[in-house]
Amino acid sequence: MEFYGYRRLDGQAGVRNYIGIIPSVFCANRVAEMISQQVAGTVCLTHPVGCSQVGADLERTAQTLIAMGNHPNLAGVIVVGLGCERFTVKEFVEGLQKSRKPVAQVIIQEEGDTLRAVEKGVRLAHRMVEEASTIQRQPIDISELSVGVKCGGTDATSGISANPAVGAMSDLVVDHGGTVLFSEVTELLGAEDILAARAANSKVAEDILDTIRRMEDKLRVAGTDPKYQNRSALISTGNFDGGVSTVAEKALGNIYKSGSRPICGVVEYCETPGGRGLYLMDSPGHDGEVVTGMVGGGAQVIVFTSGRGTPTGFPFVPVIKVTGNSRTYEKMRENIDYNAGGIIDGSNTILAAGEDLFRMVLEAAGGKTPHAEAMRHAELFCISRL
């Protein structure tokens, strides 16, 4: 089975053909935005980091930004820097060489001022878009597709209908030789034994248990200070309102998204798995941090379930929104792409919904724009801090 994608010079397969305008530091955000606003076919990846950081935190910022630039959904990249930041433009550009895609740079302090920097960036972006627009889509085997699965704005229906439907889709992607990434380690507490039992071998089982144990230890340290006792809830007010009572309950509903196939390994934040199949990504944090890690790890499409409904999207990756109940679907028609609520009232089955979602993933990979992309929702690009 195939989809129509873009073959990149480094051999990777992309499903979008945007030019990325990426600031190396937050000081360059506005210039990057102004460049992107002038040139159709570009996307802008603003962020709040890139300077006054040290050690692992700065390294994660660098790795994440480089992973974004190397992603096959971008045909070319313009790095916009200020000129004095810790994560330098030079290092950023060098990190993008392995993708062999066109890369250009604009350094504000060298150009003179905002308008001069914008002018240079717009001219560069025009040329890059023109060049990229000649690249044709071609048939690419599904085995080259990597899909990230995520949930947010969870209610009790997420674990009943939406997540099981996504799980059926995950199984189809894996059965066709593709890759599925799942994560949200904070929301796996209580489900670790089930996941470890699905590990491809005993080493992977240990890695899964270690990853979840480390996260729980970290949370214990963060949550025990009496000063922050009102800030220790791991799940949101909306989760509670939706009928989810404990993090273990959320975890047991959450893991349905990963389907039923063996877990081949645990990868680090923004790390691309060494093989194909189902992988757990060790990632902290909220929707944006998790999705950014998955995109950094090579996901070209994201499938995102939301019982209560969320509009978010990613600048250069199609995000397919799935809800588990018809109430949210009717209320948020322009945000939700698929209603799995039929599983609850008996008009649909988990397997049939999984097939629908699998087809939607292939359509999105082939160019169909999900709602979040059409409305340029881009909140899910978010660099995690250490």
Partner 1 sequence: MSRKKMLIMDPRDNVGVLLEDAGPGDLCFCGNLECTAKESIAFGHKISLADLQSGATVLKYGHKIGYATAPISKGTWVHRHNIESERGR
Least distance from partner 1 to the Cβ atom of residue 245, Å: 5
Nearest approach, Cβ of 234 to partner 1 (angstroms)?
A: 4
Measure the CA–CA gap between 60 and 241, rounded to whole angstroms: 35
Minimal distance, residue 157 CB to partner 1, in Å: 6
- Residue 160 has φ and ψ, to the nearest 5°, of -95, -45
Do 309 and 335 touch, CB atoms closer than 8 A? Answer: yes
Q: How many CB atoms lie under 10 A from the CB of residue 374?
A: 12
Of 194 and 200, nearer to partner 1 (C-beta) is 194
**In the complex with partner 1, which residue's Cβ is closer, 17 or 306?**
306
Cβ(6)–Cβ(139) below 8 Å: no
Nearer to partner 1, 206 or 345 (CB): 345
User: Least distance from C-beta 160 to partner 1, angstroms?
Assistant: 6
In sequence order, what are the residues at sequence separation of 6 or more whose Cβ sits closer than 8 angstroms to the Cβ of residue 111? 117, 120
How many C-beta atoms lie closer than 10 Å to residue 11's C-beta?
10
What CA–CA distance (Å, rounded) separates 96 from 19?
A: 13
For residue 259, give the amino acid letter. G
Q: Is 98 exposed, middle or buried (0-12, 13-18, 19+ CB in 10 A)?
A: exposed
Neighbour order of strands in the sheet with 138-141: 13-14, 2-7, 138-141
Residue with smaller CB distance to partner 1, 38 or 326:
326
Of the two residues 58 and 194, which places its CB atom closer to partner 1 in the complex? 194
Name the residue nearer to partner 1 (CB basis): 152 or 159.
159
Residue 143 or 246 with smaller CB distance to partner 1: 246
CB 354 within 8 A of CB 172: yes
Q: Indicate the residue among 172 and 235 with the shorter CB distance to partner 1.
A: 235
Give min distance, CB of 189 to partner 1, in A: 4
Please, how many CA atoms are within 13 Å of residue 324, restricted to the half-sphere of its CB?
29
| Cα–Cα distance measured from residue 235 to residue 195, given in angstroms and rounded to the nearest whole number | 21
**CA 127 to CA 120: how far, in whole Å?**
11
Nearest-approach distance from CB 68 to partner 1, in angstroms: 30
Closest contact distance (angstroms) between CB of 345 and partner 1 is 8
Nearest approach, Cβ of 306 to partner 1 (angstroms)? 14
Q: Interface residues with partner 1 (CB under 8 A)?
A: 155-157, 159-160, 186, 189-191, 194, 216, 219-220, 223, 232, 234, 240, 242-243, 245-249, 251-253, 307, 325, 327, 344-345
